[in-house]
Copies of this chain bind each other. A is one copy, B any other.
Amino acid sequence: MIDLEQVEGGFREMWRELLPVGRHEPTGGYRRHAWTSADGECRAWFEEQARKRGLSYEVDRNGNQWAWSGDPMAGNAIVTGSHLDSVPDGGAYDGPLGVVSAFAALDALQERGATGGRPLAIVNFGDEEGARFGVACTGSRLMTGALEPGHARSLQDAAGVTLGAAMERAGQDPDAIGRDDERLARIDAYVELHVEQGRNLGEAPVGVASAIWPHGRWRFDFHGQANHAGTTRLEDRRDPMLAYAATVLNARERARLAGALATFGKVSVEPNGTNAIASRVTAWLDSRAADAATLDMLVKEIIHESGAEVTRESYTPVVEFDGPLRDRLAARLGGVPVLPTGAGHDAGILASAVPTAMLFVRNPTGVSHSPAEHAEEADCLAGVAALATVLEDLL
């Protein structure tokens, strides 16, 4: 049994150090976007954690940070970690909890003298949220070859700065990015701890991920006819706002019946005038389900009943985490929930290249991507214990 008393203080101190970094005071949320100064402060903090533990520190070609216990070149490494960047006005836990827990778990293992079997690395993947350049999991996608380097370099932020230029300003060589098979070959397993982003754990402090739901994004164009809001009889209107409103409610009801998720969170209206009936409403559907068949059926129904012109903008198939690794974690932790998630993670990207697993820590409110995101300290420490337990087993 892992004894946490020795590492609780260290966990709290790391948490305290990170808390003010990139915090936007008016909202209380975080703005730690890739390759900004706030991101740089997070990265400096990571390097400092590695140095003070005597770990070998390096940044890979794709801007991901690594802290190694043991010989990085020995192979058969076990890797844990997550990311430190955030969505706009995101919460404190999404990402950082996995990195802080990784250092705390290593501390616990070192207390027990349980390191040394294989190399153990802690990783901070760059630009997981994609908040600045629009592509999520950039660091892990580049590493596995899921993102083409030339395309990545040309991605632009809202100010027109390319990812290539932003990396260069931060001291990273953008010409060196790309697939890193040599590094992947040295990794035997990746385990990412992450705060759960719904309330699916119930009262359990920790769970094991089974899969990432397939998900996609569809653009709905509702066409109508611009007209005068003060004179056009109701029966003469072709008001696309009505079809949009009906589709929002229908999508919710259909998703409920299917046990899936459907969300309209982004809308654009033309001409968007107070006294003008809209000529066009464009809205984006985000939908996710446990399996592709359910998702496809759900989205087909929503599209069919909407009357809109619909374009699929992205689609990510289901990710099933490595079965033996998942079962081994679940067995080692004994009776914890094994559950899927609707959110993308670096672990979902790594899963295509190395055996990968995830641990979730309970989110009592289910709130994430928001300043109100929260996890109880007792649950976080249970997460550290669980992570240390499975790492000890794997090492």
Residues of A bordering B, CB below 8 Å: 87-89, 196-200, 213, 215, 217, 225-234, 236, 239, 241-242, 244-246, 248-249, 252, 255-256, 261, 263-267, 269, 271-279, 284, 286, 288, 341-344, 365-370, 372
Distance between A134 CB and nearest chain B CB, rounded to angstroms: 10
Within 8 Å by CB of A255, from B234, B269, B278, B365, lies: B234
- Known contacts A265-B275, A265-B276; is-contact A242 B248 (Cβ 8 Å): yes
Query: Which chain B residues lie closer than 8 Å to A276 at the CB level?
Result: 87, 265-266, 369
| Bound-complex Cα distance A341 to B42 (A) | 62
- Known contacts A242-B252, A265-B269, A370-B279; is-contact A230 B200 (Cβ 8 Å): no
- Known contacts A231-B197, A266-B274, A269-B267; is-contact A225 B372 (Cβ 8 Å): yes
Copies of this chain, whole number: 2
Query: Which chain B residues lie closer than 8 Å to A230 at the CB level?
Result: 197, 213, 215, 261, 286, 288, 341-344
Distance between A94 CB and nearest chain B CB, rounded to angstroms: 8
| Bound-complex Cα distance A269 to B284 (A) | 12
> Can you list 9 pairs linking A and B with CB atoms under 8 Å apart?
A88-B271, A199-B236, A200-B233, A226-B370, A229-B263, A230-B288, A232-B261, A236-B365, A265-B276
Q: Is the CB of B286 within 8 A of A263?
A: no
Central interface residue in A233, A234, A275, A284, by most chain B CB within 10 Å: A275
Distance between A170 CB and nearest chain B CB, rounded to angstroms: 25
| Bound-complex Cα distance A110 to B87 (A) | 72
Distance between A132 CB and nearest chain B CB, rounded to angstroms: 13
Distance between A357 CB and nearest chain B CB, rounded to angstroms: 18
